[in-house]
Each structure stands twice: as C-alpha cells, then as structure tokens.
Amino acid sequence: MNLNQNHRKKTGEFYTPSPVVDFMIEQVFNQLISSKRIELGNYKQFTETLSKLRFCDPSIGTGNFILGLLKWLWNVLRSYSKYDGKLKMDFFYRFVTSNIYGVELNSNTLEICKTRISKTYPIFQGESFGNLKCGNSIVDIDAKEMFSSTQISKMKPFSWEESFSDIDSFDVIVGNPPYFNLKKIETRTEDTQLLFDYLKTSKRWKHLFRASSDIYYFFIMKSLSLLKNDGIVSLITPNYWIENQYADLLRSEILRYQILEIINLEGIRIFKDEGRWLNVSTSILTIQNRPPNQNFNFVKNLPKNFFELKKSSRLLPKHLSINPSELSATKWVLSRYLSIIKEISNNSNFDKLGNIAKIAQGLSPGVKEVFVLNQHELKINNIEEEVLVPFVTNRHVQRWLISKKKELRAILPSRIIELSDYPNTQKYLTRNKSLLTMGPDRKRLMEKNKIRWFDYSVYRNLSTFVKSQTKILCPYRSLLPRFSLDTERHFGATDIYAIVPKDEKDTLAILGILNSSFTNFWFREAGKTKGKMLEFFSFPLKGIPIPPISERAIVSKYVRQILSLLDKSKDGIEPQILEIEAEIDSEITQIYGLRQDFLAKYFGQNR
C-alpha cells in the first residue's frame, strides 16, 4: 500500500497476506461448521444458518479480511451449482451489505477497502457499505468529555452502540489489529500520546491499563466485549502477550473466556514492508465467548513455508492440550514440559536469580557513535584518560570470557564536572554537538535540565557498572546462553545486561549455571524467546531458578578449569572445554532432579 515506512511503524499498519487471511477464515468457519452454527447440507440450510450470523473486523485496513470472508462465502455459494446464479448473487449482496461490519481509523484507507470490494465484485458498484465505518475502535465517545475539540478531531472517537444501532454484538470478529507499544518513544506522536492519555484515564480502560501495553491488547479486549454468547474472535497479533509481564491484565481478561486455539507462528515471516521482511513474531488467537470449561489447543513449530503450502497440505501438526485452570495472569508457560517446570519452580530449596544477584541493563548513551570510540579514534582525538571507561558490545561478550579482541572505550560524561577541564574531550564533543543536541528525546531532556548537552540520555544503572569489580555480562539476545565473566569494570549499552551476585564468591557457580544446557532449556520453555533467539531481559533473567549454594558451589571448580584453558589462548582447547561443559551439565542435571539423559534428549528432539 502507499503508506511510507515511518508512518507504518508509528501506526502499526501492516497488512495480512492473503494465504494467512484464507487460513484464518477457514479455521473460523471450521469452528462454526463443527458447532453446527453453519449447515452446509444444502443451499437452503447454508443460507438460512449463515444469514443469522454477524461478522465484524474492528481494524479493517484495506479490507484483506473482509475480502477473504467474501471469497470463502462466494466459493461455497458457487458449489451449489443447481441453484440459479441470480438467486445466489442476490443472497451474496444482501449478506455483505447487512451482515458484515467493520471500523477503520483512516478514512482514505477505508475508501481503498470499499473500492477493492467493488472491483472484485462489480455487483457492489456504487454501494456505500454503510456498515463499514470510520473511527477509532477502542476510543469511545466519553473522550469528548476529556479532550478539546481539536484533540477529538484527531482521536476520532467511535460509539459502537450508536453507529450500529441495529446490533450490539457479533457472532464472529476476525482481523489484524495495529501493533505498537504505547510507551516506546520511536512510535510516540501527538496522536499516540492522546491515545495513551485516553486509555490511562477512561473509565472503560483505566483498570486495564499498563503504561507499557501494546495497542493490540486493547483491540483483543474490545473484541471480546463485542461478542455474542458463543461468539468467536480470531486475531493475528504479535505473540509477546503470552509472556510479557505487562500483558498480565490482558491474560486475566482472556482467561474469563474459552480459548479455542493459539497457533504460535514463531519463526514464520508474515509481514513485509517495502519488500523487506519484518521481524515480528506472531500468533493466531481464537477465543469463544463462553465460560472456560475445557482444554485448548496450542500449536507451534509450524514449517516456515506453512502458508505457502497447498490447502490440502496445510494440516496443523500435533498440538499441546492446555488446561486453562493451570494458567494465571503471570507469564504463560505453554510447554509439554510444564510438569517439570512447575516442579522446579515450586521447589522451595531453589532461589530465583533476582534474589541472589542484582540484574542491570546497560546505559543509554543516546548517541552511541559519538561516545564509543575505537583505538584509532581515541588516538587521533587524544581523549583524556580520566573520562574513559572500557566498553563492550554484545559481540564482545562470549561464553565464559570477554573477547580479548575488544578495543572500544567510551567517554563517560558523568565523570566530567567542568568540560573545560578536559580540552581534548571538549574539542571532540563540541565538534559533534549537532549530533548530541538533535532528536526530540535529547532536546526534551535538555529543556528540562535533566541532562547537559554532552551527557548520556539515561545513566541507567550507572552505580552498578561503576562499583562492580566483578560481574557477569550477557547480550540481551543470543542463540545460546552466552554469559561472560567480567573483572575489568566494562561498561555496556542497552544491548548488554550485567548480573552482579550479592556474594562475589558465588560468581563462578552462577556463571556455570547460566552457561549450562539447563539454562538453555529453561529459557526456551519457560523464559523468553524471539524465534530461535533467547532474550535475556531483566524479568526472565530474574526468574531463573538457582539451586542452594551448598549444591551449586560444586560447579565453580569446573568453571575455573574452563577459564584457565581460555586464559592460555591455545588452539585446540575447544574439545576440552566441551568435555568440561558436559560435566557441568551432568552435575546440574542431578541438582535440578532431572533424568541424566533429559537435556541430551531435549536438544536432540528440538534441533
């Protein structure tokens, strides 16, 4: 579509490919047919049962889901070959204009949708499509009492009750809501700030509001509130709601209903923008409006080409059956290893990493390319030693030890009281002043006197990095556990996390556990992942179960052996390290009460 990339990023407008739409529509109708809400036996049964149902897309976009619905319907009508074509066409027209509803924020986008329908089915030429309306699905008319008229014109409040006076609920809601985080600065505009303020204060939403919520959370909840009894909602959204700590209120709401199916599309690229695949991990969530009284299906590990397969080959693989009563508002662990995970989590002898160590994200320089310099840049600018600190990026953080090839150092402005005391640094920073003073975020911080023009944007966890002689570093995202011992007070940016044990003597034992196959297993099943990548963010790191010190201390001796081998830097030591890592895994397997072959079998099955 003719929406530029920056606009799309800020509005979350990414349109669902036809094969995905067709699959979702097919899944929904399979549910309706299996529950006998639609009868396919003959033309009369089909049209009579279908005409009782009302369909809605709360975020129409350019109409992909409506067109997918129409395609399914028309194909079924055509299959009744003995019936008069005009009879079928008349029913088709009545159904589309009377039984399909939808809302779209952007009036131009809505017109594109209507035009597409008319071009695909000429019978609708000149049709106004009165049930497809413009407005914001999640901003009700109470906003008119909270904001100025100018702000209201931007927000486009929408009353479902007044706009669709003939119907107050729907049998089927299907679609693809917008995706963007309300708090992230890169998606913050005047319009999204208004939306943030509305959701935070509206009587409808304030009890369900979290500052770090994603906008699609509210579309899911609004869709659920619009369902008739036994109605079905099926939405494709990012899958982060399953485990994100800020989605707890959303998960609580969902658990009030009967989940039918969650299809995790992790690893399957769905959305493109100007020819480039977007790194968005998605899931298809299907819910029915009735009390939860049965297990639901959780499907994952679909082949990457799943939606490219022929319809006849697009069978879902074996699924997990999940009991919703075992779930709560906290992160959902949808795993066949749930019993093992719960047994370890509930073991009172184990502690959480967050209780025995401080976990801190790296600093936020704001303009990293100015503050972080390599050896050549340091030399030609002659930066004063007093303002420099050793600095690593995630590529320097290897398993066990920081790479010896590191060459970066960073200017740490918090060490500077008077910039003029460091003339070379002053000259260098002044030369880059335009970079350091541009951008709305830095300008806002400077205007509020939160930072000086040459400061970092955020000195997050500064004292942790300044004071901790010994710590463990890890990248925020990695294919494998990659935890590294740091004894040289390295600093890092936001792509680095630091783990500082409360007892320094405990560092090697914790390092061994974090680099073990157990941690790899734990993060893949109960931690946080994105595709095949492990995401070592603060919250999931804090939740890693750690055995008592009397048991974990044995790991330290193996870690010392590995560090000694790495320190010698001799070629050919990798097999020796792998042998020691296997011994660590063996010890840890026993400590966590797992079968001796458990981890080997797990990774053999999940390659």
SS3 250: helix
**Polymer length of the chain:** 607
Q: Kindly report, residue by residue over 497-546, the tens digit of the pLDDT.
A: 999 999 999 999 999 999 999 999 999 999 988 778 899 999 999 999 99
Residue that the structure tokens 């006998």 belong to? 36
Decide if domain 356-605 falls under CATH 3.90.220.20.
yes
In the beta sheet, which residues pair with residue 361?
A: 497
Structure token pair of residue 243: 């485990």
Structure token pair of residue 509: 């034992």
- Domain at 5-334, CATH homologous superfamily: Vaccinia Virus protein VP39 (3.40.50.150)
- Could you tell me if 55 and 174 are in contact, meaning their C-beta atoms sit under 8 angstroms apart? yes
CA 522: distance to chain centroid?
19
Residue 468 — very low, low, confident or very high, per pLDDT cuts 50/70/90? very high
Q: Kindly report, residue by residue over 350-398, the tens digit of the pLDDT.
A: 999 999 999 999 999 989 999 999 999 999 999 999 999 999 999 999 9
Whole-angstrom CA distances from 357 to 242, 351, 519, 540, 607 are 26, 11, 16, 13, 32
Alpha helices in 311-468 (DSSP H): 338-345, 353-356, 368-371, 375-381, 423-431, 433-436, 440-447, 462-467
pLDDT more than 90, % of the chain:
77
pTM for this prediction: 0.84
CA-wise closest residue to 462 among 353, 364, 536: 364
Intervals of CATH 3.90.220.20 along the chain: 356-605
Residue that the structure tokens 């067709």 belong to? 22
Residue 4 — very low, low, confident or very high, per pLDDT cuts 50/70/90? very low
The pLDDT of residue 570 is: 64
- Could you tell me if 360 and 537 are in contact, meaning their C-beta atoms sit under 8 angstroms apart? no
Return the number of other C-beta atoms located less than 10 Å from residue 114's C-beta.
19
- Could you tell me if 260 and 232 are in contact, meaning their C-beta atoms sit under 8 angstroms apart? yes
Within 13 Å of residue 257, how many CA atoms lie on the same side as its CB? Answer: 26
The residue-averaged pLDDT of 396-424 equals: 93
Structure token pair of residue 528: 């946080």
Report the chain's C-alpha Rg in angstroms: 28
CA-wise closest residue to 250 among 302, 318, 328: 328
- Could you tell me if 261 and 286 are in contact, meaning their C-beta atoms sit under 8 angstroms apart? yes
3-state helix, strand, coil in the chain (%, to 5): 45, 15, 35
Q: Kindly report, residue by residue over 191-231, the tens digit of the pLDDT.
A: 888 999 999 999 999 999 988 889 999 999 999 999 999 99
447: DSSP letter: H
Between 312 and 529, where is the model more confident?
529
The pLDDT of residue 407 is: 84
Residue that the structure tokens 């963007």 belong to? 180
Intervals of CATH 3.40.50.150 along the chain: 5-334
